[in-house]
Structure formats: structure tokens, C-alpha cells
């Protein structure tokens, strides 16, 4: 006798329309999945924000969150859903709230990763607290900002310790830039971070066990930042960038995150890898968009059908045991961390599940990208994003890139 189970995915959204529409279209392609006599179906809905009782049930056993990094009411609902109801979260607000960029740097330095030298400097402006003046006068030591910068070397970067989306990030080329950026920082707590001479700025997007490493051009406008390149990294650097992205995610129990790394030859330097709401817009990912949304659907379906449990406890000691082993080389430590990451993400079981139950998605998504439905998504997104006089230009741009992806799948 077959039992039927329906699972509903909750989408906690802000201003995004393109990827949720694509997610729904691809999710509709999944169809029923029968495992051990149970037939599973999966749907999705957009969640609303409203008052909630701490004991209220949650009807969506998995939530993809795109709000909690800045909107505190839904963030607290997610915490309640995880702790009281066992809701599976992409991503956990517990670790993204507590493990902002500063803590993420500290953790990966503890693992021995090649994070560029980073210094945290005090606030430029007084903190809004009546105790500030007394505390600062008694305990704050004077410091020489220019000496710190000179020790790091120019150029360097000043950026918020908990920032995101390039907010407050400044390239510092000289002491004048330094003073100007620090004066503008106000009450933001800032890092000064050395840079390295690099060949490639790589950005890795990881969703569950899947990772795509992309040639990222941060100086370009958004529609040109993800350069379509193949073989732009050495074999070792390609392996290491993908490994670091998954290692970071497994360490913090993040499952939908991007990591930015500077690559010089075979050397990989992680510089930003705490991104609670990674970019998945079709107008920026373009060529890589079908892969990203398909991966998000696959991982969500796998977690629901297999009844995967969300992690709240991190168990970082497993990573630290490897980090503290003096007999291991850097490469051996990375391989050890990656084994832990693959175990956390159940990588082997995941790919077996995809082969057995989701193998049809590749052809289905390819047909969809070539369909009028996908083109309508592109048209609507371009019209909502760019002024009318640029519509034709950007439609041609994104149609060409997504067609290139489709043609390469053949």
C-alpha cells in the first residue's frame, strides 16, 4: 500500500520576482517521487509577515529565507520555526546573525585558510550610549590609523565587519582615501584588510553539495560581473575554490551561500564568504541562472523527501581537530575538511537521489529555458529592472547568454 505525503516549501521574499517564478516552474517539473512505499509531492508558496504566537504550527517544513539578514521580525519567526517546529531553513539565522564577517574570518583563520591580514579598528563616531564617554576616556587606547594601513600596505580595503552587498566597502589607495573612508564610516565598525596581487576574482555559489565557481568582475556593472569562462582556473585552484565554499558552509551550517576568493596561480585567498542572501537574479547570473535554480530545487526536494534534519549545533570541534594536527599539510587539512563537508551535506546520497528521482530535470529545464514561458520571464524582469530605452539592449544580452547555456547543454 502506497502512502501519500505532500511537502510545502515556504519562500520568504523581499523584492525578488524572477528566481521565485523560475523556482516554481522547475519545481512543477519534479512530479511525484516514490521512496520506500511513500509517494511524495512538493509545492511552494510565498510566506507573509504577520504577528505569530510562539506555539503556532508551521505549515511549511522547509523555508528558503531571503529576508532575515535585514528584516528582524521574520528572522525571529524563523528562529521560532526551527526551534519549536523543527522547520528546515535555508539559511540558519542563528549562525548568520552571530557569525558575521568578522567571526567568519576568525573561524577560517583558525582552520588555516589564507585569509588576507585583517585588522578591526574602533568606531569613528561615538556609540549612542550614555556610558560611551566614560568608557572611552578610561579604556580606549589612542591608535595610529595610518600606521596600521602602512603595515597592511596599499592598496587595501576598508569594509564593515558585518556588511553585505558591498555596503560601505572602499578601496584605499593612499592616506587621503584612508582618512576620507574612515570619517565616512560613522558608527559602522570597520575592518582594514590587505589585498594580494591576484589573477582571478572567483565567486563560488554553493547550494547544498553543489557548487559553481564563476569568474567574477566586481568592477563591472551587475549585468557583466559574472563573466562566462571555462577553464579560467588551474586544476588545483578550481578544486580549492569549490572546496573552500563547501567547507565554509558545512562549518556554519549554511546551505545557500556564496564565497569570494582572490586567486593567484594555485594560491586561493578567501576574502568574503558570509552572504546570507546570495545573488541569484537572472539579470546578474544570466548564463548560470538555470543551474542555480535547478540546484536549489533539487536540494530542497532532497531535504524534504529524505526528512533531513536542520542543524542548530555546529560541532566545530571536528574541524578544529584537523586544524590542530601538526602532521597534516595544508592540502591534507583541506581534504579532511572537505570530507566533513561532504558528510554534512550527504553528498553521495544526494547525487544518488538526483540520479534516481530527478534525472529528468536536466532535459526538462533545458526545454523550459528555450520556451516562451522563460522568455516571458526575461521580458518581465528586464522591463522591471531597466529604463525603457534599454529594454531591447538588455533583452538581447540576456537572451544571448541563456541561449549560449542551452546550446552548451546539447
Q: Identify whether the C-beta of residue 170 lies closer than 8 Å to the C-beta of residue 177.
A: yes
Domain with CATH 3.30.1490.20 in the chain: 117-194
pLDDT at 1: 63
Give CA separation, 43 vs 9, 14, 372, in Å.
6, 20, 23
233: left (phi over 0), alpha (psi -120 to 50) or beta: beta
Distance between CA atoms of residues 201 and 232, nearest Å: 10
pLDDT(280) > 60: yes
Evaluate if residue 106 carries a pLDDT over 60: yes
pLDDT on residue 123: 85
* Closest C-alpha among 258, 256, 257, 252 to residue 312: 252
Q: How far apart are CA 385 and CA 379, in angstroms?
A: 10
pLDDT of residue 165: 63
Where is 395: in which H helix or E strand? helix 391-409
Per-residue model confidence as pLDDT tens digits over 285-316: 999 999 999 999 999 999 999 999 998 888 89
Q: How far apart are CA 285 and CA 307, in angstroms?
A: 30
What are the tens digits of pLDDT across the range 57-83? 999 999 999 988 888 899 999 999 999
Q: In this predicted structure, what is the pLDDT of residue 162?
A: 79
Q: What percent of the chain has pLDDT over 90?
A: 82
- Domain 3-97: CATH class, spelled out: alpha beta
Q: What is the mean pLDDT of residues 348-360?
A: 98
Mean pLDDT score of the chain: 94
- What's the predicted TM-score (pTM) here? 0.94
Q: What angle do CA 297, 242, 68 make, to 5 degrees?
A: 50
pLDDT digits (tens, 9 = 90+) for 236-253: 999 999 999 999 999 999
Distance between terminal CA atoms of the chain? Answer: 40
State what percent of residues in the chain have pLDDT above 70: 98
Choose the weakest-confidence range: 132-141, 183-192, 332-341.
132-141
Strands 62-65 and 88-90: parallel
pLDDT digits (tens, 9 = 90+) for 193-204: 999 999 999 999
Q: What is the per-residue pLDDT across 384-393, written as a single tens digit (0 to 9) for each?
A: 999 999 999 9
- Chain-centroid distance, C-alpha 326: 31
Nearest 5°: CA angle at 192, between 190 and 195? 140
Which CATH fold would you assign to the domain 117-194? Dna Ligase; domain 1 (3.30.1490)
Portions of the chain given CATH number 3.40.50: 3-97
pLDDT in tens, 215-234: 999 999 999 999 999 999 99
Above 80 in pLDDT, residue 164?
Answer: no
How far is residue 80's CA from residue 87's CA, in Å, rounded to a whole number?
Answer: 9
Amino acid at each position: 500500500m502506497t502512502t501519500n505525503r505532500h511537502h510545502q516549501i515556504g519562500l520568504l521574499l523581499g523584492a525578488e520576482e524572477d528566481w521565485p517564478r523560475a523556482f516554481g516552474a522547475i519545481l512543477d517539473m519534479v512530479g511525484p517521487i516514490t521512496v520506500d512505499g511513500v509517494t511524495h509531492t512538493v509545492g511552494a508558496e510565498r510566506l507573509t509577515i504577520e504577528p505569530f504566537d510562539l506555539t503556532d504550527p508551521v505549515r511549511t517544513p522547509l523555508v528558503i529565507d531571503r529576508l532575515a539578514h535585514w528584516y528582524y521580525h521574520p528572522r525571529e519567526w524563523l528562529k521560532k520555526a526551527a526551534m519549536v517546529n523543527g522547520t528546515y531553513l535555508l539559511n540558519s539565522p542563528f549562525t548568520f546573525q552571530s557569525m558575521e564577517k568578522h567571526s567568519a574570518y576568525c573561524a577560517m583563520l583558525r582552520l588555516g585558510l589564507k585569509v588576507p591580514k585583517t585588522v578591526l579598528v574602533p568606531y569613528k563616531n561615538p556609540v549612542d550610549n550614555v556610558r560611551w564617554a566614560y568608557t572611552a576616556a578610561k579604556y580606549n587606547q589612542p591608535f595610529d590609523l595610518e600606521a596600521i594601513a602602512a603595515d597592511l600596505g596599499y592598496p587595501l580595503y576598508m569594509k564593515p565587519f558585518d556588511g553585505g552587498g558591498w555596503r560601505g566597502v572602499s578601496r584605499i589607495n593612499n592616506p587621503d582615501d584612508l582618512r576620507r573612508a574612515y570619517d565616512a564610516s560613522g558608527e559602522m565598525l570597520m575592518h582594514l584588510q590587505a589585498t594580494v596581487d591576484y589573477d582571478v576574482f572567483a565567486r563560488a555559489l554553493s547550494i547544498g553539495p553543489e557548487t559553481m565557481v564563476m569568474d567574477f568582475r566586481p568592477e563591472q556593472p551587475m549585468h557583466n560581473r559574472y563573466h562566462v569562462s571555462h577553464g579560467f582556473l588551474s586544476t588545483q585552484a578550481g578544486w580549492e575554490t569549490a572546496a573552500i565554499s563547501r567547507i565554509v558552509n558545512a562549518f556554519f551550517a549554511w546551505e545557500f551561500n556564496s564565497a569570494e576568493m582572490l586567486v593567484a596561480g594555485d594560491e586561493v585567498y578567501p576574502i568574503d564568504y558570509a552572504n546570507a542572501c546570495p545573488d541569484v537574479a537572472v539579470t546578474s547570473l544570466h548564463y548560470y541562472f538555470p543551474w542555480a535554480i535547478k540546484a536549489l530545487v533539487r536540494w530542497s526536494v532532497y531535504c524534504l523527501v529524505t526528512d533531513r534534519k536542520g542543524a542548530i549545533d555546529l560541532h566545530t570541534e571536528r574541524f578544529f581537530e584537523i586544524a590542530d594536527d601538526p602532521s597534516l599539510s595544508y592540502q591534507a587539512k583541506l581534504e579532511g575538511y572537505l570530507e566533513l563537508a561532504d558528510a554534512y551535506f550527504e553528498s553521495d546520497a544526494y547525487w544518488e537521489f538526483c540520479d534516481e528521482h530527478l534525472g529528468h530535470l536536466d532535459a526538462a529545464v533545458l526545454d523550459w529555458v528555450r520556451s516562451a514561458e522563460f522568455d516571458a520571464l526575461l521580458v518581465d524582469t528586464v522591463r522591471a529592472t531597466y529604463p525603457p530605452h534599454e529594454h531591447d539592449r538588455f533583452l538581447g544580452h540576456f537572451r544571448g547568454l541563456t541561449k549560449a547555456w542551452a546550446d552548451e547543454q546539447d
